Amino acid sequence: MRNHSGDRRVVMTLDAGGTSFRFSAMQGGRPVTDVLVTPSNADDLTRCLATLADGFARTKQQCPEEPAAISLAFPGPADYPSGIIGDLPNLPAFRGGVALGPLLNAQFRVPVFINNDGNLFAYGEASLGFLPYVNDLLEKAGSFKRFKTVFGVTLGTGFGGGIVFEGNVHLGDNSLAGEIWLLRNKRDPQTNTEEGASVRAVRRAYSDAAGIALEASPDPKAIFEVGTGRREGNRDAALEAFRQLGEVAGDAIAQASTLVDGLVVIGGGLSGAWPLFLPALVNEMNGTYAGHGAERLRRSIAVAFNLEDPAQLNTFIEGDAREIVVPGSDRRVRYDALPRIGVGISRLGTSEAIRIGAYAFALKELDRILSS
């Protein structure tokens, strides 16, 4: 991925949530304005669009130079290449198709790029976070193995995903690639994965395991503290709640990884609880299927490694490098006989990864426009 430290172009960014908008600007790979946080006014389109215009206008006033582009992380469904936002569950004012990109382009006279927050989280981690972190470790260890693909997963209010391959975001033909939340929930196949891998899922699992009403279940941060012994409560129930989160998320990530085949980086509000769910998640990815008779089949050819575990990280970095002889000759070639997937936690923090992803994506698109 490209180093942006010498790039003088300023990009204004937005991370759009259901309740709040976060505006900022970056230049040379660094923030050059304060982060401006405003209410989203999600139930009134006129007020919401006015909030967007005002937020970017105020951010522009802080920019050291005229912005070259605007880049938004906006929820879907949407036609992202056209800048048109569809019917949004958490921003109910957006209905029937809203041409947000063209509107902001007309207001600020710069190119406007919009993408999903899961995609931009993955792009940020591919640019300056998890991907270079892993590849740097491999290089320092003398390994010739390098990774080019990142599957970004966000665990929080929802369960999101994004795919980056060789420096490109994979959107799909309907801007719907990476929608991991719609996979089937392993523990409750009548529901989707998000019902087993989200804030509400952790609270529900704790209430069930503790035998208390859902309304009495604490928030996941408190449940994590109970599970780590830092707060009074039902510790067994807390550990079970996060184990179930890891099981359901791991099942979905295993399904996705058979198609994506790359590093998996996890962010979102629940990612800080990784010590309680990541072991179960990786164990699920390394699970088996029943074969004929007593035979068990690995669910994935690649072995998943928990890169937050020092022992597993060392094994992952070491791999199984060897030299083999080309048949019928004396020539030897290098071969790593261990297909593997590294799973770890965001190196940037979710909000920062999204902001960096929005910035880097805009610069890449500006370069594409200039070269076409």
Half-sphere exposure of residue 211: CA atoms within 13 angstroms, side-chain side: 2
Nearest in space to 117 (alpha carbons), one of 75, 153, 84, 88: 75
pLDDT value at position 149? 97
Return contacts of 332-339, CB within 8 angstroms, 24+ apart. Answer: 334/144, 336/143, 336/144, 336/145, 338/303, 339/301, 339/302, 339/303
Predicted TM-score of the model (pTM): 0.94
DSSP 301: S
Q: What is the pLDDT of residues 307-362, one digit of tens each?
A: 999 999 999 999 999 999 999 999 999 999 999 999 999 999 999 999 999 999 99
Paired sense of beta strands 84-85 and 168-169, if any: unpaired
Residue 179 reports pLDDT greater than 90: yes
146 exposure class (CB count in 10 Å sphere: 0-12, 13-18, 19+):
exposed
Q: What is the pLDDT of residues 115-155, one digit of tens each?
A: 999 999 999 999 999 999 999 999 999 999 999 999 999 99
pLDDT value at position 38? 96
Domain boundaries of the chain, sorted by first residue:
10-115+351-371, 130-347
Residue 1 reports pLDDT greater than 70: no
Give domain 10-115+351-371's CATH number out of 3.40.50.1100, 3.40.50.150, 3.40.50.300, 3.30.420.40.
3.30.420.40
Q: What is the pLDDT of residues 199-234, one digit of tens each?
A: 999 999 999 999 999 999 999 999 999 999 999 999
Can 10-115+351-371 and 130-347 be said to share one CATH topology?
yes
The answer to whether 332 and 325 have CB atoms below 8 angstroms apart is yes
SS3 content of the chain, % helix, strand, coil (to 5): 40, 25, 35
Q: Per-residue confidence at 3, pLDDT binned at 50, 70, 90? A: confident
341: left (phi over 0), alpha (psi -120 to 50) or beta: beta
Interatomic CA distance for residues 321 and 302, integer angstroms: 15
CATH match of 130-347 with 3.10.310.30: no
Within 8 A by CB and 6+ apart from 65, the residues are 8, 10, 27
Residue 60 reports pLDDT greater than 80: yes
Q: Per-residue confidence at 79, pLDDT binned at 50, 70, 90? A: very high
Q: What is the pLDDT of residues 22-52, one digit of tens each?
A: 999 999 999 999 999 999 998 999 999 999 9
Half-sphere exposure of residue 301: CA atoms within 13 angstroms, side-chain side: 8
Exposure b/e, 42-67, CB count within 10 A at least 16 = b: beebeebbebbeebbeebbeebeeeb
Q: What is the pLDDT of residues 254-310, one digit of tens each?
A: 999 999 999 999 999 999 999 999 999 999 999 998 877 778 889 899 999 999 999
